[in-house]
Structure 1
Amino acid sequence: MVTTTSGDTATVMNPHGSSASARLLLATCHSVLRPVLRTVPINRRTIPIGAAAIEGLSKLRPQPRGVDREQVTLDNFGLEVLRPSGAARSLRHGAVLYMHGGGFAVCGLNTHRPVAASLARRTGLPVVNVDYRQLPTADIAGSIEDCVTAYRWLLRHGADPKHIVFAGDSAGGYLAFATALRAIELGLPSPGGLVGLSPLLDLDYLARGEHANATRDPYLTVAALAAVVRIGAEVDGNLDPLLSPINGALAELPPVLLIAAEDELFRHDCEEMTERLTAAGVPNSMQLWRGQVHAFMSIAPNLPESRSALARVSRFVRTRVEEIPRARTA
């Protein structure tokens, strides 16, 4: 156990060192991603360029095996349903609603299909991967709207809300919580559980200045977060505090699992959220992974540490979804 800066406790995973592949990823983030994010401006002109580059790189990745894909087109966006190959399980047996990360601006179904597929294989459940609208064509509120629409789609297709778990990494972690809060506000049922993987939960970039990880993170920067928030959330330089999930009405949320890298910027968000969830009476747990980078489990799902973290996510999902036979953990 370790005491966090907020005074809560979190389980430290991997305390005795990381794998060689994880160390390579850490070094790459330090030497490549960190300089890029500190030199390339983030604005409405550069976002589409970055998104195209990342999408192109994602197509070089082998497609995940062991899953069947179903493409769904909605009014303003799309989604895909990933099921373990040969599985006949319908949505009414349970599902994971997955929101990908990427700073509300980059990444999509192709970049995050490997992590979504891993969760589908491990849980034996359909995983609905949401291709929500992003910056600069839609603001963060528009992204939330699309994710709520995806949740409504799940409910219309027979999914029991108690058997649905929202999950997401980084900005997708934000959307998992923001979508749950917005759904409850609209009178929709709460999902059965929430999972945040290195989640952004507080849009107030000024709140991070005193946290040690503001300078320790291997590649994320407060400046990059500030640029995204200014484009996607601020109005005339003002940020509505209620856009940040940590400031929401948390008492009606379901049980929560938070996983983050020990030295990442968004550890601050997880610490603050665990403190507020506990005060609101919401069951929650937080795991900090030593020697890892922000969103390691979605960047490289096949890392030994990523596989272990996703196995823990899958166990959490299975505890939240009733009467599901144990799935294989390949």
Structure 2
Amino acid sequence: MPTVTIEYPRRAGWALRAAHPLSYAVLRQGMNAIVGLAWRGIPVRGVRIFHISRALDPLAGFLVPIRGTSLQPIGFPRFRAEWVWHRGTSDPSRVQDSAILYFHGGGLVSCGLNTHRRIVSRIAEASGAPVFQVDYRQLPQAHVVDTIEDCVEAYEYLLAQGFPGERIIMAGDSAGGGLAFRTAIAVRDRGLPMPGGLVGIAPWANYDSTLRYAHPNDPLDPLLGAKALDTPVQLGLLRDGKLDPSWSAVNHDFAGLPPVLLQVGSTEVLLADAYQLAERCEQAGVPCRMQVWDRAIHVFHAGADLLPDARQAIGVIGAFVSGRLAGTAAQQPRSTAA
């Protein structure tokens, strides 16, 4: 019986069909222009562009969570995090039953708690589980090896609070999707309890863009091209001009990883990464459900206020999470803080 299934859930709705060419004409061309300036050395070595990108998160404070959401900030010595949960879900500071550990996207250079709070709140509502969202360190202040350490530290924090590993689902979008897999691998290699599942939304899981440059979706993606994803790598990730394969999740054995859900758009250049992840799952015998959404823009879940397709995709994530939690009921009594 195959461990990997690939689904094409639905034909794109009219709103998504209209948004696709508009995004290509405006967002993709704007991204191409920014990338072109960065590669020509403007700004020098990408340092300023990284700082500008990091400024996006403070400007996204207007992206409030959906109604009925509660928030609780959690401070760490080197990064920030916050709890996000919906009404009807127990306060995670009092009941340590289950959680989603979420890593935001942003190409390792941008976004944060503000940009992703609304998406995360929808996932919290759909799954019925509290979400622990992590604002990990990024380029140029920290290398990806430091980022992975932040992600592992956040997972260890949940374990220390009393959350059973099998009742924690790791999830993320874009760069965060790749980090979810890379963090799970690090957790496994350190002998820590394994999470109960993995969710990757358009995951950026291979920092080597060779396959993306050759992929037929490179000229079709309505937001990101292979060169855009290669920019933070070439301008900030390389060490002594070299890319260590171990930094990328796709270059590891997936043996022992929990069941996986992948979602990606049919015209995304990151479809190449999703297929690589699915292949690694198949090689290791890890159950993987991969959904290819017709003409979906990169992390189209962010448009759930307007896109029925996005709301349906989030519903699938919620069902996957609740299904994994139902199938990994804690053997020990539920932990409740005093």
Asked if 1:108 is matched to 2:112, the reply is yes
- Alpha-carbon deviation of 1:14? 1.7
Structure 2: distance between partners of 1:126 and 1:284: 23
Look up the match of 2:229.
225
Look up the match of 2:30.
36
- Secondary structure, aligned partner of 2:126: helix
Structure 1: distance between partners of 2:150 and 2:242: 24
Structure 2: distance between partners of 1:137 and 1:113: 23
CA RMSD of aligned residues (A): 1.8
Aligned partner letter, 1:190: M
- Alpha-carbon deviation of 1:53? 4.1
Asked if 1:23 is matched to 2:17, the reply is yes
Q: 1:276 to 1:88 in 2, by over 3 A?
A: closer
> Scaled by the length of structure 1, what TM-score is found?
0.90
Asked if 1:46 is matched to 2:49, the reply is yes
Aligned residues: 314
- Alpha-carbon deviation of 1:125? 1.1
- Alpha-carbon deviation of 1:86? 5.3
Of 123, 127, 130, the match for 2:127: 123
Unaligned runs of 5+ in 1: 1-7, 326-330
Structure 2: distance between partners of 1:123 and 1:89: 15
Look up the match of 2:251.
247
Runs of 4+ with deviation above 6 angstroms: none
- Secondary structure, aligned partner of 2:124: helix
Asked if 1:82 is matched to 2:90, the reply is no
- Identical columns (%): 38
For 1:142-291, list aligned pairs within 5 A: 142-291=146-295
Aligned partner letter, 1:47: F
Of 311, 316, 323, the match for 2:320: 316
- Secondary structure, aligned partner of 2:214: coil
Structure 2: distance between partners of 1:141 and 1:24: 39
Q: 1:27 to 1:55 in 2, by over 3 A?
A: farther
More displaced, 45-54 or 199-208? 45-54
- Alpha-carbon deviation of 1:122? 1.5
Q: 1:9 to 1:193 in 2, by over 3 A?
A: closer
Tell me the alpha carbon deviations over residues 265-313 of structure 1, each in whole angstroms, 9 at most, x when there is no partner.
Answer: 110011111122111111111000002111111x323321111001101
Structure 1: distance between partners of 2:136 and 2:168: 18
Of 14, 25, 42, the match for 2:10: 14
Look up the match of 1:3.
none
Decide whether the 8 Å contact of 2:57 with 2:112 is kept in 1. Answer: no
- Alpha-carbon deviation of 1:19? 3.0
Decide whether the 8 Å contact of 1:114 with 1:301 is kept in 2. Answer: no
- Alpha-carbon deviation of 1:54? 5.3
Decide whether the 8 Å contact of 2:57 with 2:113 is kept in 1. Answer: no
Tell me the alpha carbon deviations over residues 94-133 of structure 1, each in whole angstroms, 9 at most, x when there is no partner.
Answer: 1000000010111110110011101111112110010111
Q: 1:81 to 1:54 in 2, by over 3 A?
A: closer
Decide whether the 8 Å contact of 1:173 with 1:201 is kept in 2. Answer: yes
Aligned partner letter, 2:48: R
Look up the match of 2:43.
none
